[in-house]
């Protein structure tokens, strides 16, 4: 039975262990944005012994390249991007304590295995509803790689961002469950 769970970052093993595929999450606190170019730089920096632009342990990364903020807003449309483009980097970050990834679309086998092994979750944001997602963002600040434009790393403060658990720490996959339930 799915439920609605309110969580605040940074996330812990206990926070993510209670989540089940299909649960709704209302996420508050600080999250970070990064897409594939930023992921590549973050992973390279860590491998070279440098500090990443934000603390990875307990973090949630939102796969988004927001549009410019219109007057009076902190951010423009902020809908999720397709997550599999980050699959090459996600297991490395999960091993270092990343607790949640936010995006849209399916994840690869290695990412799902890393989520189970290291207690992390994949959360789906509502695709095609960038303005709705932006409504949950109360602060936005570029903190790294500004030359990447919309794909720069941002620190976002969110208040009850509406998300759904796709992959949980127990190995469940909402997309597979849906296919099984409606494919009969």
Q: Could you list the active site residues? A: 39
Q: What is d(CA 140, CA 143) in angstroms, rounded to the nearest whole number?
A: 9
Q: Which residues contact 176 (CB under 8 A, 6 or more apart)?
A: none
Q: What is d(CA 20, CA 62) in angstroms, rounded to the nearest whole number?
A: 19
- SS3 (DSSP) at 157: strand
């Amino acid at each position: 039975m799915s439920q609605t769970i309110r969580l605040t970052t940074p996330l812990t093993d206990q926070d993510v262990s209670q989540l089940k595929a299909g649960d709704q999450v209302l996420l508050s606190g600080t999250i970070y944005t990064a897409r594939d170019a930023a992921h590549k730089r973050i992973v390279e920096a860590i491998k070279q012994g440098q500090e990443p632009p934000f603390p990875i342990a307990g973090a949630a990364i939102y796969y988004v390249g927001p549009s410019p903020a219109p007057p009076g807003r902190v951010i423009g449309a902020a809908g999720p991007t397709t997550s599999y483009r980050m699959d090459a980097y996600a297991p490395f970050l999960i091993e270092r304590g990343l607790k949640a990834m936010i995006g849209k679309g399916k994840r690869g086998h290695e990412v799902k295995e890393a989520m189970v092994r290291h207690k992390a979750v994949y959360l789906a944001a509502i695709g095609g509803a960038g303005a709705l997602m932006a409504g949950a963002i109360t602060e936005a600040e570029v903190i790294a790689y500004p030359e990447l434009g919309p794909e720069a790393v941002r620190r976002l403060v969110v208040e009850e961002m509406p998300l759904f658990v796709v992959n949980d720490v127990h190995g469940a996959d909402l997309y597979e469950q849906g296919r099984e339930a409606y494919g009969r």
